[in-house]
Amino acid sequence: MIGSAVYNLTFNREMMDTPILGTIARRFRISLTIRRASLSEEGGVAEVLLSGPSEEIERAIADLQTFGVTTQGPLETVVGAATGAIQNPGRGT
């Protein structure tokens, strides 16, 4: 099933110069949109919208975790991204 989901990603300081999100976008059949991000001396946090086949999103999240990225979500599952309809808002894991 094709869909979109929002995740919070937490990166440590050592990851900040590594193009992890670009790598994930190329490695899997997904697109990603950074909805918001914050960087500090300790690391960073990004809220990203991942779109594509559900299986590819799950694989991308698992791959992010192998890089050491902490993932939280899906926070929202977007159905019919063109209409902006949202299911399960605020559901976190």
Q: Is residue 21 part of a domain?
A: yes
CATH (domain of 53): 3.30.70.260
Q: Is residue 7 part of a domain?
A: yes
Do 71 and 88 contact (CB within 8 A), yes or no?
no
Q: What's the whole-model pTM score?
A: 0.78
Residue range of the domain that includes 10: 2-87
Nearest to 32 by CA among 71, 68, 66: 71
Q: How far apart are CA 84 and CA 31, in angstroms?
A: 16
Q: Is residue 11 part of a domain?
A: yes
Q: Write down how long the chain is.
A: 93
Q: Is residue 92 part of a domain?
A: no
Q: Is residue 71 part of a domain?
A: yes
Q: Is residue 73 part of a domain?
A: yes
Orientation of helix 54-66 relative to helix 20-27, angle to 10°: 140
Q: What domain count does the chain have?
A: 1
pLDDT on residue 93:
40
Task: Please report which confidence band the pLDDT of residue 76 belongs to, taking 50, 70 and 90 as the band edges.
Answer: confident
Q: Is residue 52 part of a domain?
A: yes
Q: Kindly report, residue by residue over 6-52, the tens digit of the pLDDT.
A: 999 999 999 988 999 999 999 999 999 999 999 999 999 999 999 99
